[in-house]
Structure 1
Amino acid sequence: MNIGEDKKKFSILIIEDNPADIRMMQEIFKESNTKTNIHVAYNGIEALEFLNKKEKHQNQLKPNLILLDLNIPLIDGFEVLKEIKTNNKLKDIPVIILTTSNTKENFSKAQEFEANCFITKPLDYDEYTLLLQHIEECWFKTKPSHHI
């Protein structure tokens, strides 16, 4: 493994209003092998301000990955997803829907709005750990041979 690859930090935007879920994700990513910068938006307006570099977010880098809950206040997750995927500056950011709303309708709507992945939230810490380790393996571990 390339040493420079180990040092690279991945920026993750968590769009979630549940403090317990946020804390759990932060702790798990902190313990992971990948160095990450975690940013949190507690509602849809805050998420869009962060992504569009408004006000206090002017100097933020574009995240490498977004973890998006559908049931967030002010602007729901579907509207946030739609805004991301229709914005030429943002649409290439992978968006993983992480929600308790696992209905077929929600899955279809997330697919329609081009979510990269749809996952039902785990129920406990161990399941969350496995899920986030899987996300780390799938989304952070890119090898130079995969680039065109």
Structure 2
Amino acid sequence: METDPIDILLVEDNPGDVFLITRMLEESSLSYTLHRVDNGKSATDFLRNLRSYEQAPFPQLILLDLNLPIMNGKEVLADIKTDQKLKHIPVIVLSTSNAPEDIEESYRLKADYYVTKPSSFHEFAGKAQDIQDFWLQWQGRN
């Protein structure tokens, strides 16, 4: 069954991680269009179609790094989940941190899923399946 591609917003400032995440998504069977911003302020502008993002599509999924310039990922997550127009978008936090306090804080701020970024592409491939499974479960609930 062919489905329309989903719009995914990737909020990530590290070019190496962008490369690995892009490759990871290519390994999944998701049909998607990837949009990327490299700081928290640009993410909130993208989501609200402000400044240079007036024509940006409304994403169905957000992949959010915690360590971002200008506005960090926790601030972006809190902003998304307290906005009536945005709070329903599932947010997957992608972080190098596996510190319990970062994970707990992310879920307290209503992250939908937390994924610790692996250090190699081989490990990233397994995370692609996790993200795909999350999305399919999310779709099944809505």
Query: For structure 1, which segment, 76-85 or 119-128, has the greater mean C-alpha deviation from structure 2 after superposition?
Result: 119-128
Q: Are residue 13 (structure 1) and residue 22 (structure 2) matched?
A: no
- In terms of Rg, which structure is larger? 1
Between the two proteins, what is the percent identity of the paired residues? 36
Q: Which residue does 1:92 correspond to in 2?
A: 88
Q: CA deviation at 1:32?
A: 3.1
User: Please, which of 41, 51, 58 is the counterpart of residue 47 of structure 2?
Assistant: 51
Q: CA deviation at 1:31?
A: 4.2
Q: Are residue 119 (structure 1) and residue 123 (structure 2) matched?
A: no
Q: Which residue does 2:23 correspond to in 1?
A: 27
Instruction: Quote the Cα distance in structure 1 between the aligned partners of 2:123 and 2:60.
Output: 23
Contact 1:30 1:36 (C-alpha < 8 Å) held by counterparts: no
Q: Are residue 63 (structure 1) and residue 63 (structure 2) matched?
A: no
Segments of structure 2 that go 5 or more residues without pairing to the other structure are: none
Q: Report the secondary structure of 1:48's partner residue.
A: helix
User: Please, which of 78, 90, 115 is the counterpart of residue 82 of structure 1?
Assistant: 78
TM-score by length of 2: 0.91
* TM-align CA RMSD: 1.6
Runs of 4+, deviation exceeding 4 Å: none
| Count of matched residue pairs | 141
Q: Report the secondary structure of 1:22's partner residue.
A: helix
Q: CA deviation at 1:120?
A: 1.1
Contact 1:67 1:95 (C-alpha < 8 Å) held by counterparts: yes
Q: CA deviation at 1:56?
A: 2.1
Instruction: Quote the Cα distance in structure 2 between the aligned partners of 1:124 and 1:118.
Output: 18
